Amino acid sequence: MRTGRFGPVVTAMITPMRANGAVHFDEAKRLARWLCDHGSTGIVVSGTTGEGPTLTDDEKVRLYREVLDAVGDRAAVIANTGGNDTRSSVELTRRACAAGAHAILAVGPYYNKPPQAGLIAHFTAMADASSVPVMIYNIPGRTAVNVLPETLAVLAGHPRIQAVKESSGDLMQIAEVVARAPAGFDVYSGDDHLALPTAAIGGCGVVSVASHVAGPQIRAMLDAFARGDNDAAADLHIRILPLIRALFAVTSPIPVKAAMRTLGFDAGPCRSPLCDLTTDQERALTAALAPWLAVQAATAAV
């Protein structure tokens, strides 16, 4: 497996909030450092898991700066600057680059449902405004628009569009992206449960939610596959699957924020319209987390 330019495990980091809904910047820095200590080679800031749609641009820019200050060069800090308005996405991209972001994440423009030509124009404008590598983020289940493999092949011709986070959930489409991409273009799985299957068809890593809890194990899984130990990789994949199911049983990032509170982080609530887990959902998540809490405790004791 070829490792991507942002390493094998990029965590789509939650945005900790205070009880009043304000961004908890100090806790974001603590969490970013902890992720680096637990297998993350990159960190996405203000993405889907980071509740980017409910953050103001000023909050996002401060988050970029605070996380960069916290991790330095230990991990690639990837700033999500995409939205459904090209002009504002371009402006935020410029601000993220000025703040020192190592790369830009450009999510598909949601709700508007542009045709493929509109997607090419949108992403090209963002890449033209960027001074750092750009990762396209294709997640049609949230955006209602699918960045097709042929569209990505065109976009990959831009010198700064160098990667894609593929969350279509369609292995056929992901394989077509890999087949059409130029040499050196990084195809990351955007779904935890497809991290290993994507690696098997030419992907280079994962942009992960589960790595908040199981970062070392996900890193070990991809490292095992890279060295040709397929049995060890498959065993780890199967072991991680129940955790992945639990973290996506309800709209993300609701469960992962609850999980990080269980792990001792002041993650706070999600911003409305996302809400808390129900009592039954909390109970199910706690049961799924139990073996992972035991792993954390054993690791800390060593």
Structure tokens given for 217: 């194990």
Segment 75-96 mean pLDDT: 98
> 202-212 pLDDT, tens per residue?
999 999 999 99
> 218-237 pLDDT, tens per residue?
999 999 999 999 999 999 99
Segment 64-89 mean pLDDT: 97
Q: Which amino acid is at 192?
A: D
The catalytic residue among 29, 60, 64, 137 is 137
Environment class of residue 123 by beta-carbon count within 10 Å: exposed (0-12), middle (13-18) or buried (19+)?
Answer: buried
Q: Report the C-alpha gap between 215 and 75 in whole angstroms.
A: 13
pLDDT of residue 1: 84
Strands (E), 86-245: 103-107, 134-138, 161-166, 186-189, 205-208
Nearest in space to 206 (alpha carbons), one of 218, 220, 189: 189
Q: Report the C-alpha gap between 249 and 26 in whole angstroms.
A: 29
Structure tokens given for 14: 């939650």
pLDDT-based confidence at 299, cuts 50/70/90? low
Class (C level, CATH) for 9-301 = alpha beta
User: Is the per-residue pLDDT at 261 higher than 90?
Assistant: yes
User: Is the per-residue pLDDT at 95 higher than 70?
Assistant: yes
Tell me the pTM: 0.96
Segment 176-202 mean pLDDT: 97
Structure tokens given for 161: 């569009």
> 132-184 pLDDT, tens per residue?
999 999 999 999 999 999 999 999 999 999 999 999 999 999 999 999 999 99
Measure Cα distances from 266 to 27, 42, 236 in Å: 7, 21, 29
Q: Domain residue spans in the chain?
A: 9-301
pLDDT of residue 293: 80
> 36-51 pLDDT, tens per residue?
999 999 999 999 999 9
Question: Pairing state of beta strands 76-80 and 42-45?
Answer: parallel
Q: Report the C-alpha gap between 35 and 52 in whole angstroms.
A: 19
Q: Report the C-alpha gap between 195 and 193 in whole angstroms.
A: 6
Q: Report the C-alpha gap between 272 and 264 in whole angstroms.
A: 23
pLDDT of residue 76: 98
* Element counts in the chain: helices (H) and strands (E): 12, 8
188 catalytically annotated: no
257 catalytically annotated: no
The catalytic residue among 29, 165, 188, 257 is 165
